[in-house]
Structure 1
Amino acid sequence: MPFDTDLDLTRFLLLIRSEIGYSTHAVGKWHLGYCNDSYVPHNRGFDSFLGHYRGGVDYFTHSNEAPGTYLNHFLNGEPHIPEGGFDYATYAWSNRTNKILRESLGQPNFVYLAFNAPHEQVAAPQNLVDEMNALYPDMPATRQVHLAAVKSIDIAMQSVIEEASKLDRETIIIFHSDNGGSIQAYGGDAEGPRACNFPYKGYKSVLTEGGTLSPTWVYSTKREFHSRYIDGMIHIMDFFPTILHWAGFDKQMPRNLDGIDQYDLFENASVTKIRDRFIYGLLHNWDNNNLQWKTSYAVRYGDYKFMNYQTELIGNTQCPEGWSNNRHEKYLFPYKKKRTTMMNKVWEISDAEPNKETGEIKPDPGFSLYNLKNDPFETRNLGTGEDSKKYKKIYMDLMNDIQSYVVEEIQKGVEYPVTGKMNGNLLSKIFKKIPVDERSEHYFETGRIIPFDSATQESTGLDGYLGTNWCLNNLDDALLTQMYHDAVLNDQERLADMINLYLWDGYGPE
């Protein structure tokens, strides 16, 4: 389910629960906050939740590490250890979903099923890894495991569809991903390729097409949707009002909603213009030097895509097993001559190995402008090439229109991330300087990890479970203040500067 912010989540659940009478259930990955109990799913509008709070979890033990090893598996807010042991995560989430479908026949229900696969640290059942190894024996092992994890989602979704199809009532399933694939392993000790977004440019965490495009499908157990080719766009946020329409909501939609109701696209034989613009994302980057937020954004505007920055490090990366998809090529370029020219070009400029640079990729000054209809792989920046001089007036007018559109959208309401004491990245860097044993002790003391009793520790091999006391408190201030004074005494200037910035905005304790 697409949610722009937790505010959208709250609005959606309020409408579908209170106005239409649906039961609501969340399964799998949460990753929308666990700073305190008010952030977790069963306190955010879901009637039930089974899953994990953090972005990633061990697929087999449902735990996380460092410091210590702790359970990250909850049922309605309580740590949950199944009597029969843990299933492989992807199957655990589909099994839970099937159980909800079977047992909630008394009222309509909405299920938010969020797989953690193929999030790092990627793992998959051995039979699926063996299957990928047999299909692609020369492929790097990291890529084989990634494909096996994706195959597990296919299996899980097949089981959900089969379960839903047994029921008399209709179930509509919307399947999508939140971003393009991560092209390199980045969890644990694994090194090598993971996903492949070829021929598109980029990867997870950047706003190029390879970082944002992903397949989507919609399926009903009772009705057939219209099959058509559309020369227009649909954005993931459009499912918010579209689902409510399917569910029977007939009142005024909330104000300042990003999504557009696409009911007609699925249900009616003729469809008017769908949408011709949307904002991919606003990235708020904290500038430690100037102590201010800088906003980067990418916008689709008709055939064009505009970004108010440049990132020269991002390119196109080939798949380790090769790539050939004639249907996709013909869809993008119906005419053979252009198809041959564009595909040859993207092969020429792409890298055989993952080209994601290590470290943070910082936007460069300037801007990027691409015509995605003619250049879907973003190979030619119209904002900096010869075309920018040739068509300067046209492009400047276009970019002015786009930036005016962005201002209008931002005026709907945008909140910058909290600065100062809630700067999570800076805090993480500081805490990594603390020896693991001391950090673990501090996490237990603050309730970030709740210790198990000795019997549970022995039976599970886990130190405790993830707590929901991650909001900063006096114990953190005391620890960091002592760390600051120790760093000053020991000439650890970098550490002292980070703590100074975190606690006192760079002005020092005096």
Structure 2
Amino acid sequence: MIVRRLLLLSCFVVCVQCKQPNILFIVADDLGWNDVSFRNPNMITPNIDRLAKQGVIFDSSYALPAGCPSRSAFLSGKYPFRTGLQHVGIQPYQNVCLPLEITTLPQQLKNAGYSTHAVGKWHLGFCNLNCTPTYRGFDSFLGYYNAKEDHYTHDSGQFYDLHDDQRPAWEYQGKYSTFFFTTRAQEIISAHDVNTPLFLYLPFQNPHGPVEVPSIYSDLYPNVVNNGRKIFSGMVTILDEAIGNITQTLDDKGILQDTLILFTSDNGAELLNYGNNYPLRGSKHSLWEGGTRVTAFMSGYGLQQTGITYKGLIHAIDWMPTLIGAAGAEQVLGMDGINQWDAIRMNIPSNRTEFIYNLDDFEIPSQGHAGIRVGDMKLLLGYPGTFDGWYTPMNDTTDTPVYEMVYNPSHPDIPARLFNITADPTERNDMATTNPDIVKDLTSRITANRKLMVPAKYPTDDPKAKTIAEDNGGVFSPGWC
């Protein structure tokens, strides 16, 4: 009888582990390390806090120093320096997109039987129709192609940039994006066939600039004197409200308990738009921890230990193989990322011991030239990126001046800066001069990775892109490459 019960229990465990969960992948745009209330009590993010504290908060989760490179890593499992997307980000008139030969995360999940949907920001190229979301593995897409746009008008520079699949979505002009992105996500969940696993990718616009939000959200921060920080804080809170509404819809549908939720920022906060990374050094557009060490957590289905902070190293390139692992699907060959699913769900040591922050030989490498982490040690070579310094939130001050680094093209790998990130996470103690052997070893690893580097794909603007937009009624549209 005991043996039979053990066999039944074993079969139950196997069946549970083999079940394909629904996957909700939420990306916050330019959310800082210090912009959530589980780190900063001045912020109002109760839904993010609840999910994080019921799940696994990642203490050492890294992304790239800007959104386009991070998004390419999320959906390809490859370092951007190996796909040519390591420099700044794809601009509106460039003939560039995530290489078409790459199998994306939604494509692989679709192969495994998932229904796949994207709502929000794309920023992986659109010069050709085959570069756009519904040709890269998503069943549907509501969102915008470029890096940024007005939250109400949905103009990105000169042209309109909001699309429902391939159709220009003019009906949302004048409406705040977080509201209708949330509504679309809820509609997808409500209409979903529960017999099919769901992958819902939600790369929200908030809190990326321009700094705009309905006043009822900024008014929740009466003690914040700086108007920019006040509005930014409201942008975070409306994002938090959206996440609460979406998870409530999952619950109403009866599938919340079967859903794995991954939340991450795409990079550190943009200081010029009032985000905050304190006590970390630097910001978005830099290889300092404030630009690359991001707020992230996982919650929901399959996690065996919850209510914990996970200290192991995780990189943006790991999310694709990790989510494929959680889905029980076949991994894609050639990824740089590592499947961290067992490490996360069972709270065992990370499978990652090192990673590349970025490699960019473009002149000027505005987001940082070269950086590597191996174990506790971090090495930066040359220009570390645009912004440096340590900044507290601008709650009760005028705009704080931001310190910008100066690029030296004559000596791109100089100086070398070395930090023990475990002992010195705020990067205040440069150890390079006293540890030349470590600098030499880590430099050799950077050199080895440079042999794999694809030159940055950052061409001059193609005038045909503007012509195509004008011919399509003033809407950014594919079809010029």
CA–CA distance in structure 1, aligned partners of residues 327 and 359 of structure 2: 30
For 1:145, the aligned partner's letter is I
Q: Deviations over 1:318-353 (max 9, x none)?
A: 222379xxxxxxxxxxxxxxxxxxxxxxxxxxx992
1:113, distance to aligned residue in structure 2 (A): 0.7
Other structure's SS at 1:232 match? coil
- Which one of 371, 374, 377 corresponds to residue 298 of structure 1? 371
CA–CA distance in structure 1, aligned partners of residues 367 and 162 of structure 2: 36
For 1:281, the aligned partner's letter is N
Q: In 1, are the aligned partners of 2:265 and 2:294 still within 8 Å (CA)?
A: yes
Q: In 2, are the aligned partners of 1:277 and 1:302 still within 8 Å (CA)?
A: yes
User: Which residue is equivalent to 1:98?
Assistant: 186
User: Which residue is equivalent to 1:447?
Assistant: 468
1:177, distance to aligned residue in structure 2 (A): 0.6
CA–CA distance in structure 1, aligned partners of residues 291 and 283 of structure 2: 4
Q: Deviations over 1:158-187 (max 9, x none)?
A: 1111111223331111110111111114xx
Task: Tell me whether 1:14 sits opposite 2:118 in the alignment.
Answer: no
1:76, distance to aligned residue in structure 2 (A): 0.9
For 1:306, the aligned partner's letter is L
Q: In 2, are the aligned partners of 1:298 and 1:305 still within 8 Å (CA)?
A: yes
1:75, distance to aligned residue in structure 2 (A): 0.9
CA–CA distance in structure 1, aligned partners of residues 240 and 375 of structure 2: 33
Q: In 1, are the aligned partners of 2:104 and 2:137 still within 8 Å (CA)?
A: no
For 2:208, the aligned partner's letter is H
Distance 1:31 1:119, change over 3 A: same
Task: Tell me whether 1:73 sits opposite 2:162 in the alignment.
Answer: yes
Task: Tell me whether 1:371 sits opposite 2:444 in the alignment.
Answer: no
For 1:357, the aligned partner's letter is E
Q: Deviations over 1:193-250 (max 9, x none)?
A: x11212211111111011112211111168664444554312222221111111121x
1:53, distance to aligned residue in structure 2 (A): 0.7
User: Which residue is equivalent to 1:314?
Assistant: 388
CA–CA distance in structure 2, aligned partners of residues 220 and 404 of structure 1: 41
Q: In 2, are the aligned partners of 1:310 and 1:368 still within 8 Å (CA)?
A: no
Task: Tell me whether 1:271 sits opposite 2:348 in the alignment.
Answer: yes
User: Which residue is equivalent to 1:151?
Assistant: 237
User: Which residue is equivalent to 1:46?
Assistant: 138
CA–CA distance in structure 1, aligned partners of residues 393 and 279 of structure 2: 9
Aligned length: 382
User: Which residue is equivalent to 1:416?
Assistant: 455
User: Which residue is equivalent to 2:118?
Assistant: 26
1:467, distance to aligned residue in structure 2 (A): 2.2
- Which one of 188, 204, 219 corresponds to residue 284 of structure 2? 204
Q: In 1, are the aligned partners of 2:109 and 2:324 still within 8 Å (CA)?
A: yes
- Which one of 256, 260, 277 corresponds to residue 338 of structure 2? 260
Q: Tell me, which stretches of 5 or more residues in structure 2 are unaligned?
A: 1-24, 26-73, 81-97
Structure number with the bigger relative contact order (C-alpha 8 A, sep ≥ 6) is: 2
Q: Deviations over 1:20-43 (max 9, x none)?
A: 111211111111112222211112
Higher share in helix: 1
Query: Percent identity of the aligned residues?
Result: 27
CA–CA distance in structure 1, aligned partners of residues 182 and 407 of structure 2: 35
CA–CA distance in structure 2, aligned partners of residues 9 and 127 of structure 1: 43
Other structure's SS at 1:447 match? helix
For 1:50, the aligned partner's letter is L
Q: Deviations over 1:9-64 (max 9, x none)?
A: 6342332112x111211111111112222211112221111001111111112223
For 1:183, the aligned partner's letter is L
Q: In 2, are the aligned partners of 1:172 and 1:220 still within 8 Å (CA)?
A: yes
1:359, distance to aligned residue in structure 2 (A): 9.1
CA–CA distance in structure 1, aligned partners of residues 319 and 337 of structure 2: 7
CA–CA distance in structure 1, aligned partners of residues 138 and 439 of structure 2: 42
The normalised TM-score by structure 2 is 0.71
For 1:197, the aligned partner's letter is N
Other structure's SS at 1:10 match? coil
Distance 1:159 1:284, change over 3 A: farther
Q: In 1, are the aligned partners of 2:362 and 2:456 still within 8 Å (CA)?
A: no
CA–CA distance in structure 2, aligned partners of residues 381 and 410 of structure 1: 24
Other structure's SS at 1:92 match? helix
Bigger Rg over Cα: 1
The normalised TM-score by structure 1 is 0.68
User: Which residue is equivalent to 1:124?
Assistant: 213
1:407, distance to aligned residue in structure 2 (A): 4.3
Distance 1:15 1:285, change over 3 A: same
User: Which residue is equivalent to 1:481?
Assistant: none
Distance 1:165 1:409, change over 3 A: farther
